[in-house]
């Protein structure tokens, strides 16, 4: 049995959200279900989503002739690895997700792109079946924060990472320690709508401490919130009609939140809470990298 308690909620969230990602996030084109990274390299939304993928490549310093083995931990449909696999044909990418429907889609997209250097498997990143010291690099885009147990996640990632291998995390982290009850309720509602079971993001200080405790070195933490702001605004605008749809249904007591349609409306609508979280400085979006020393 998969030990990650978030499996049900996360899988439910991504299963129901795929069509929304396909329509509003252009995921059939980019294979991405993550934020776009806006900078001088990317001005349009599609460019920004692909730029986030390339950012991972730049952080790993990948080159055309790089012969590395890289794990995409919590991969979605494998979009980042598919993108990078096309650019770096000698590097092998292995993608893992605990959502079965994402594995099916990922396999379809890999086949469509005729790639032999990328694979996708269903697996819990808290308890993989990989041997020790097998990957040159590991990255997790907007997936590490879903882990029930950050300490267990980092312990497992360190186990399977080669000495001098690099781990890269791109995700939201809580930076505020105390939150008043009203804001906390909004914050938890937002996270529930995003598929989180724990209803809290890992605190940045806690995450850094655990990296140090696990023996990681050369830790770099960079706040890139401003680079994903346009993606967040896009999500807010998309969420507005879903919010009113959900609100009207609840007022009229049509169905229950557990019904697929109502849950989709709810999960899409919670993005309108994002400005409150941002204004209250509850969380920020960070790039974190660290090295497992030999």
- Interstrand relation of 92-97 and 135-141 (parallel, antiparallel or unpaired): unpaired
- Could you tell me which residues come within 8 angstroms of residue 209 by beta carbon, excluding any fewer than 6 positions away? none
For residue 271, report the phi and psi dihedrals to the nearest 5 degrees. Answer: -60, -20
Q: For residues 169, 217, 94 and 75, what is the CA-based torsion angle, rounded to 10 degrees?
A: -10
For residue range 226-241, list pLDDT tens digits in order. 999 999 999 999 999 9
* Residue 192 reports pLDDT greater than 60: yes
Contact 226, 278 (CB under 8 A): no
- Could you tell me which residues come within 8 angstroms of residue 184 by beta carbon, excluding any fewer than 6 positions away? none
Contact 20, 264 (CB under 8 A): yes
Instruction: Please give the domain boundaries of the chain with CATH numbers for all domains.
Output: 7-178+198-225+283-292 (3.40.50.150)
pTM greater than 0.75: yes
Q: What average pLDDT does this structure show over 103-131?
A: 97
The C-alpha atoms of residue 62 and residue 83 are separated, in whole angstroms, by 13
Strand order across the 216-223 sheet: 118-122, 92-97, 69-73, 135-141, 161-174, 283-292, 216-223
- Could you tell me which residues come within 8 angstroms of residue 214 by beta carbon, excluding any fewer than 6 positions away? 151, 154, 155, 158
pLDDT band of 258, cuts 50, 70, 90: low
State the CB neighbour count (10 A cutoff) for residue 290: 25
The C-alpha atoms of residue 125 and residue 144 are separated, in whole angstroms, by 9
For residue range 17-63, list pLDDT tens digits in order. 888 888 889 998 999 999 999 999 999 999 999 999 999 999 999 99
Please tell me the predicted confidence (pLDDT) of residue 255.
Answer: 55
- Could you tell me which residues come within 8 angstroms of residue 15 by beta carbon, excluding any fewer than 6 positions away? 99, 101
């Amino acid at each position: 049995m998969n030990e990650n308690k978030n499996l049900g909620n996360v899988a439910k969230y991504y299963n129901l959200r795929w069509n929304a990602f396909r329509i509003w996030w252009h995921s059939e084109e980019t294979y991405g279900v993550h934020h776009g990274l806006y900078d001088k390299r990317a001005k349009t939304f599609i460019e920004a989503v692909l730029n986030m993928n390339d950012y991972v490549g730049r952080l790993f310093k990948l080159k055309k002739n790089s012969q590395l083995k890289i794990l995409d931990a919590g991969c979605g449909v494998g979009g980042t690895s598919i993108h990078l696999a096309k650019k770096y044909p000698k590097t092998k990418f292995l993608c893992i997700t605990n959502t079965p429907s994402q594995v099916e889609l990922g396999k379809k997209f890999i086949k469509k792109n005729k790639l032999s250097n990328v694979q996708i498997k269903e697996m819990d990143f808290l308890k993989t079946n990989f041997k020790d010291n097998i990957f040159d690099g590991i990255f997790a885009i907007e997936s590490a924060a879903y882990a029930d147990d950050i300490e267990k996640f980092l312990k497992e990632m360190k186990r399977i990472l080669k000495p001098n291998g690099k781990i890269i995390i791109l995700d939201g982290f809580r930076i505020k320690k105390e939150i008043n009850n009203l804001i906390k309720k909004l914050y938890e509602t937002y996270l529930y709508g995003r598929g989180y079971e724990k209803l809290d993001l890992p605190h940045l200080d806690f995450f850094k401490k655990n990296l140090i405790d696990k023996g990681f070195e050369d830790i770099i933490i960079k706040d890139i919130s401003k680079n994903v702001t346009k993606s967040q605004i896009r999500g807010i605008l998309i969420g507005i009609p879903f919010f009113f749809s959900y609100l009207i249904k609840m007022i009229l007591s049509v169905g229950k939140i557990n019904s697929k349609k109502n849950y989709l409306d709810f999960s899409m609508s919670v993005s309108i809470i994002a400005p409150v979280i941002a204004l209250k400085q509850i969380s920020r979006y960070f790039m974190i990298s660290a090295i497992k020393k030999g």
